Amino acid sequence: MDRKIEEISTYVKSKLEKEGSGHDWHHIERVVKHARQVATAEGANLFVCEVAALVHDLADDKIVASEAEGLEEVKELLKDLEPSDREHIMEIITTISFKGGNRPPVTTLEAKVVQDADRLDALGAIGVARTFVYAGSKGDLIYDPSIKPRDKMTVSSYRNEQSTAINHFYEKLLTLKNLMNTRKGIELANQRHQFMVMFLEQFQDEWDGIK
């Protein structure tokens, strides 16, 4: 089992080593770490959570040109796993993404764990850093007071319309605290949420010339 995890890790690392929008191999490593921590606290299947965390971004539409091809690639990578584990992992990675916030809640404990683990890495100081790197990679501005945060987004408008890095906090990141699934996830998200609120206050004060 450990050998399988090592083999999958090596593959994912080679794929995402140079990813430049904040979904690089170190993001995956952090999500795996959060997934282990939350899975242990919640009594979830550790192997399924760990493998799902490892492959969760391989078929993401932000990263690969074709989601369908990405999913085929993951299926191939997981071909030696127990079919029930493989199906469960495929289900997890196709259901946990935010994509504008209109998706139904995930159902299995392991999907809840991996979704929380991915969301934890969207929050706090690391969440701030990833948001600016993502906005930069897309050519979005840091902030523009004339572009208002959107409150309803389709998958396509979420991905394709111009917004700003600061708007992303209001459009997604500040909403995550109330969307966490597990007790452990909620506990870890709270402190990271508070840090983002502080960051945004300081940002606004500096922008307004108060600080």
Q: CB of 89: closest distance to ligand ADP in angstroms?
A: 16
The single residue among 25, 45, 91, 134 that binds ligand ADP, judged by CB under 6 A, is 134
Find the largest Cα–Cα distance for the chain: 59
Q: Which of 35, 67, 63 is nearest to 51 (CA)?
A: 35
The single residue among 12, 163, 182, 192 that binds ligand ADP, judged by CB under 6 A, is 163
Q: Which of 107, 129, 100, 102 is nearest to 195 (CA)?
A: 129
Tell me, by CB under 6 A, how many residues bind ligand ADP.
17
Helix then strand count (H, E) for the chain reads 10, 0
The single residue among 35, 135, 166, 196 that binds ligand ADP, judged by CB under 6 A, is 135
Can residue 27 be called a binding residue for ligand ADP (CB under 6 A)? no
- Sign of the CA dihedral running 176, 178, 179, 184: positive
The partner in contact with residue 42, picked from Ni ion, ligand ADP, none with C-beta cut-offs of 5 to 8 angstroms by kind, is none
**Sites for Ni ion among residues 49-78 (CB under 5 A):** 57
**Residue number with CB closer to Ni ion (53 or 166):** 53
Q: Which of 8, 103, 107 is nearest to 58 (CA)?
A: 8
Site string for Ni ion, 150-179 (x = CB under 5 A): ------------------------------
Contact predicate 186/180, CB 8 Å? yes
**Sites for Ni ion among residues 91-120 (CB under 5 A):** 118
The partner in contact with residue 25, picked from ligand ADP, Ni ion, none with C-beta cut-offs of 5 to 8 angstroms by kind, is none
> Which residue's structure tokens are 């007790």?
183
| Bridge partners (DSSP) listed for residue 164 | 141
Contact predicate 55/61, CB 8 Å? no
Contact footprint for ligand ADP (CB under 6 A): 22, 62, 97-99, 118, 122, 127, 130-131, 134-135, 140, 163, 165, 168, 172
